[in-house]
Structure 1
Amino acid sequence: MPSANKKKDGCYEKANSRLRSYQCNTQKGYQTMESRPLLDEKLVMMMVEDDEVEGGVEVKKRRKWLVNTCWMAISFSTGILLTLYLVKGIPNLSSQPLQRRQTSDIYTGNTILAAGNDLSVSSPQWRCVPPPPAFLLEDPRVMQHPAIKFALAQLELTLKADTFSSKEAISISIVHSAKGKIYEFHQGRKRLNESASASPAKVNGNSIHRIASISKVFAVLETLMLSRQARLEKFVPEITLESRLQDVLPEFKLPQEFKEEAADITLGQLGSHRAGIGRDMGELVFNSPRDILWPPVPGQDTFFERYYQHNTSSQELLCTVSKNDLIWQVGQTPSYSNTGFSILGLATGNYRKKLKKQNKSWASSIKEDIFDPLEMDHTFAGPIPKGLRKDIVTPNSRNMVDLIVPAVHDPAGGIFSTTNDLAKLIHKVLLSRSPLLISNSQRLDWLRSIHYNTDAITSVGVPWESYRAIMPDYAAYNIYFKGGGLPGQYSQISAFPEFGYGVAVLTSVGSTDSELFAGATTTDPFGLSLKVHNTLAPAIWKAYNSIVTADYAGTYTSPNGIARIVFENGFLTLKELKIDGVDVLLKADQLIWRQGGRQVSIFGNGAGLIGTGFAGKFRATALFSCIWSAFDIVTTKSGWGLDLIVFKKVNGKMTLFYEPMKGKLVKQ
């Protein structure tokens, strides 16, 4: 076995001597590693059974599962963990829970299903059903809806039943853009490695766990925050996710044969794991698979004990990277890379020094730039602050609670946090219509998938690990997840931006090492997150539809006009708009016919009204097409599009405004 303290290329030596650790006030003290595969970075298929609700409580299967499903994940020790989750539908809320679309049941042999295909017109699976209008996401009526109250009560019963005999420490927070935190659940004790009589204190929203790779979210947020600040201060060059890495961090190099690739790498590619850089360069080195002992032998198994003993400075890290080949072409495919995020942290730190004329560590920088503005007072990287030691959760298995991660690795996995603090991040940054720290447009670009996997379910963002969700109206969305895990503690945050809510789950292991090696199960925060989404998403969907229907559906009249709006097939639909004898929907058809002669009526059955990001403003579009295809074909001289419908409350009554016909119609 090669020495843990030396490497032949001279990039580092005696790195182990640079590590320092804390001795927590626990019976176990500092623990290094356990060999249980982590669940932090898995890419798993979100397979949720298509259930049918009968009798209000009895759920019956309607469809058989797809066979030969491909399930994969990235784990800490081997990079691969095969797993599959089967999550039931939620009774009394919807007969169509979040699920994988069963394409095999409707496949016709056509590779491309175009808009004119009979299947796409007749089947709701292929409609572009719009999300709720963005301006309604913070409507306080949402949280008062009976469906949501029922869902939260049902979730409480489910979580209590599932964790009744659990040894784990579990904390969950659910956040909605209308209110902030709307629900929390806590189970277990803080000091799991001590007896209940010696340490009875229970976990709560301020109990601190290592969040491991969720740290990557903060590394990207720091990049976005610096970009916005540079733009506001007119500092050049402005940093963005499209910035070339070598422009920001000139010291970054790859072996000579990858010189051109090194020049192409962007900060966004680092943040989406698409830079082609290896996962943990130089950290875990072995002679052969024989070096991996199972079960681990205390005092003999040193394989994982060598993790974090190398690359303990920026110089060592950059030296290691400069001598190792890329594992993928730059931009080709996501390949999980902790090393890439350590480099991203070096790059943003280098830029921040120039922007703010300060020389601070990454941990100090994000405290000043992110944690303090968001009032995340129990979140930190680096040594555990003395005043927070009482809130640290200590697992019963071997763990890394006491380990001070070398500062260069903090952006990849060095942060501690709580569900209370993560709820603030989700609410104030990921969900609020006026996010803190970054602009709304930055946030909209951030919550996007960059690379879609061929399973049609999973995708990768910056640094999101997204999963496809099919709503009861068959509209498909991405839910943005980021998981984290180091031995003994596992975490997950997720956001469903189109429906304005998010979830934070933190867990700590309650079993001993011997119990784990014998096959004891642990609580997976991803599985808990799925239960929350499958319970809450259909309820929120129902609440929004109720509000949209109550506010906008109905008949609008004026002395010279009429409009009819209904909610059907998942759409707020303009069925009729006539002013001064002019049929506006017919005129929209005639505008299309002018281009190629009379054709089938596009708007004969009405036009779908798509809510914009602006209060009361909707755009009308064809019912069978997606929203990008036909906006503002023609406008008035004032710039009002043929498709723009505006609603405002006037004297307490909803009023429809249509400027091209000088229309002002009042809801009856």
Structure 2
Amino acid sequence: MVKTKGYQKMESRPLLDEKSVVGEEMAMMIEMEGRRKMKCRAIKKSLLNVYWTAIGFAAGIILTVYISKGSLTFPIPTWLRKQASDTYDGSTILTAEDGLSMTFPQWKCVPPPPPFLLDDPRVMQHPAIKFALAQLGVTLKADTFSIKDAISISIVHSSKGKIYEFHKGRKRLNESAYASPAPVDGDSIYRIASISKVFAVLEALVLSREAQKKKFAPALTLESRLQDFLPELKFPPEFEDEAAEITLGQLGSHRAGIGRDMGEAILNSTADIIWPPVPGQETFIEKFFTHNTSSEQLLGTISENDLIWQVGQTPSYSNTGFSLLGLATGKYREKLKGKSKSWASAIKEDILDPLEMDHTFAGPIPHDLRKDIVTPNSRNMVDLSLPAVHDAAGGIFSTSNDLAKLLHKVLLSRNPSLISNSQRLNWLRSIHFNTDAITSVGIPWESFRATMPDYAAYNVYFKGGGLPAQYSEMSSFPEFGYGVTVLTSVGSTDQELIKGAAKPDPFAISMKIHNTIAPAIWKAYTSIVTDDYAGTYTSSDGRARIVFENGFLTLKELNLHGVDVLLKIDQLIWRAGGPQISIFKSGAGLIGTGFPGRFRGAPLFSCVWGGFDMATTKSGWGLDLIVLKKVNGRMTLFYEPMRGELVRQ
């Protein structure tokens, strides 16, 4: 039997941690470039402006290091905030030209690795990856040497699946090591709480794809209106028109304006919150999940409560919104398949069984899996079955092995299971960007900016979960083809926690892993891209040269039949307004299209959308299309507008 000790008060975790996915070397590079930028501005400004600019950039450097270096956690002084704001010079919007004039590398729109390389098995054989994983193993062992908690970690890559795992601690933390010595492993089951929301959105995507294949009407998408599938849902009269605009995607991104846990925690006053907990008395968290135990009760509660935000205005975390998402997709599924099932049974049939996630479930703990449950030492909710109406918000249990399957097969593989590649690309997107320029919100992702060694910035997509005594994190870095899961269970007692004992922090652990793995994967990709494509290509009447520099696979020259192709594309632009700057004088950045061997040339100072496929040959071949593929074992460049076929020497 699984032994538990009731509940412990759940603490909220801020969305923004004082860390970013960038290392110390990166911070030093940023500082150097900041000084460089300051010198360029000094040429343009008066002496007085130079003085204030110097102060501003000093503040900027410190702020950058503060955000970027995970080891720095000191608060930003008030005086520094003031001086930074006082240096504002009116340049609200900077452009690529500003960046070029200052040679500031952040203005390069460096592309991610070509997507077709994400499955390349050579990535995991690269020395940088092997070293990073070895380093990570040493770090994790050192960091967890003296902890009482249980931790299970998996790292997954698109080319192979699980590439690394780490486990520490015992399954039965509330029993003595003598009585229960069994250690946790990849099949140990933790309550993953709000990571359940990922499954709620995935279920909507799975149903959407199935309906599309069956040409079932009405269609279901994340843009579909909630009340089209849940017409019985009512809101107070003054909010009816506003609420009628709520979409499934807004529920999934917490932008529906619906309260966090409607009707769950009812207080007479803040005096009802007891701290420290008194033995034998209920804590605040024990008042949760005693209301809205059926869909009828939940809909009744919503009909009596105001919206807390205008629909679409801002993300505001809402478990109630995800309970509604589960109800809506359940109603739709019943019509699509002609049978009614609980949400827990539906995701088992639609998601868990196809992915072979045989240790993942919602609802009561199956008898045959009780041996694998991880039980914390403090008060917890392991044995509590949430009302089924809330399963989509936080009712799932899972393992590091099973979540690794979800990451690999759905979120990372080139040909995802269950959903289409287009659906996944739309799913792994930020919907709302916060003004801190670091964090953003997706469906249901909580995203953080990651700056790579070439200064390219990406979003890393996180979803955390926390119910008393068990905390979890799942994250994905899709452009670099890998993801991480961290599941934890508290090993301290209630008394130790009240006295200030630390709880495991899966978010901080995830950040440390990303800071170690991401730069190594970047090195592996740049090495493979260089080996595969860089070099000189020739034919009897042509020559091309490709290099890898400044983060770009760059076409430096392409001459065929006596024609300078890059110059001709420049001249195409000049026709619109006379001779202008030579955009392709320094070469064209080769951007992977997602199709094997097919690249599009783009200006080095612009982003991909600035390509020049507006002009094509009669066959439809864009002037910016370069195809690179092996023919008879040798890399060959094809350029149809000039009937070019050049072989790498």
Report the TM-score, using the length of structure 2 for normalisation: 0.91
Q: String of CA shifts for 1:635-667, please: whole Å, max 9, x gaps.
A: 001100000000110010000000000000000
Alignment partner of 1:35 out of 2, 6, 9: 9
Q: Which runs of 5+ in 1 are unaligned?
A: 1-23, 55-61, 71-82, 90-102
CA drift of 1:46 comes to 3.4
User: After the TM superposition, which of the residue ranges 285-294 and 579-588 deviates more from structure 2?
Assistant: 285-294
> Do the aligned partners of 1:180 and 1:427 also contact (CA within 8 Å) in 2?
yes
Q: String of CA shifts for 1:532-558, please: whole Å, max 9, x gaps.
A: 000000000000000000000000000
CA drift of 1:449 comes to 0.1
- Counterpart in the other structure of 1:369: 350
- Counterpart in the other structure of 1:414: 395
Q: Which runs of 5+ in 2 are unaligned?
A: 28-34, 36-56, 73-83
1:114 and 2:95 matched: yes
Q: String of CA shifts for 1:6-46, please: whole Å, max 9, x gaps.
A: xxxxxxxxxxxxxxxxxx433xx4x442124143x733353
Distance 1:387 1:171 in 2: 21
1:232 and 2:213 matched: yes
Distance 1:38 1:350 in 2: 32
1:141 and 2:115 matched: no
CA drift of 1:110 comes to 1.6
1:512 and 2:485 matched: no
- Counterpart in the other structure of 2:379: 398
- Counterpart in the other structure of 1:598: 579
- Counterpart in the other structure of 2:463: 482
Distance 2:483 2:2 in 1: 34
Distance 1:320 1:426 in 2: 36
Q: 1:52 to 1:352 in 2, by over 3 A?
A: closer
Aligned-partner residue type, residue 479 of structure 2: E
1:51 and 2:34 matched: no
Listed as ranges, the matches of 1:439-454 within 5 Å are: 439-454=420-435
Q: 1:456 to 1:409 in 2, by over 3 A?
A: same
> SS state of the match for residue 279, structure 1?
coil
Listed as ranges, the matches of 1:166-205 within 5 Å are: 166-205=147-186
> Do the aligned partners of 1:562 and 1:578 also contact (CA within 8 Å) in 2?
yes
CA drift of 1:106 comes to 11
- Counterpart in the other structure of 2:2: 25
Distance 1:121 1:85 in 2: 22
Aligned-partner residue type, residue 463 of structure 1: P
> Do the aligned partners of 1:121 and 1:127 also contact (CA within 8 Å) in 2?
no
CA drift of 1:330 comes to 0.0
> Do the aligned partners of 1:226 and 1:352 also contact (CA within 8 Å) in 2?
yes
> Do the aligned partners of 1:220 and 1:462 also contact (CA within 8 Å) in 2?
yes
> Do the aligned partners of 2:24 and 2:68 also contact (CA within 8 Å) in 1?
no
> SS state of the match for residue 609, structure 2?
coil
> Do the aligned partners of 2:21 and 2:511 also contact (CA within 8 Å) in 1?
no
Q: String of CA shifts for 1:222-275, please: whole Å, max 9, x gaps.
A: 000000000001110110000000001101111000011121000000000000
CA drift of 1:199 comes to 0.3
1:158 and 2:152 matched: no
Aligned-partner residue type, residue 345 of structure 1: G
> Do the aligned partners of 1:38 and 1:486 also contact (CA within 8 Å) in 2?
no
CA drift of 1:87 comes to 1.6
- Counterpart in the other structure of 1:8: none
RMSD: 2.2
1:354 and 2:335 matched: yes
Q: 1:434 to 1:107 in 2, by over 3 A?
A: farther
Distance 2:390 2:378 in 1: 23
> Greater helix share, 1 or 2?
2
Distance 2:567 2:551 in 1: 23
- Counterpart in the other structure of 1:87: 70
Listed as ranges, the matches of 1:173-572 within 5 Å are: 173-572=154-553
Identity %: 73
- Counterpart in the other structure of 2:592: 611
> SS state of the match for residue 575, structure 2?
helix
Distance 2:22 2:252 in 1: 33
Report the TM-score, using the length of structure 1 for normalisation: 0.88
> Do the aligned partners of 2:99 and 2:105 also contact (CA within 8 Å) in 1?
no
CA drift of 1:523 comes to 1.4
Distance 1:275 1:53 in 2: 38
- Counterpart in the other structure of 1:665: 646
Q: 1:50 to 1:369 in 2, by over 3 A?
A: closer
Aligned-partner residue type, residue 325 of structure 2: L
> Do the aligned partners of 2:110 and 2:552 also contact (CA within 8 Å) in 1?
yes
CA drift of 1:631 comes to 3.6
User: After the TM superposition, which of the residue ranges 290-299 and 368-377 deviates more from structure 2?
Assistant: 290-299
> SS state of the match for residue 416, structure 1?
strand
> Do the aligned partners of 2:530 and 2:553 also contact (CA within 8 Å) in 1?
yes
CA drift of 1:200 comes to 0.2
Aligned-partner residue type, residue 631 of structure 2: V
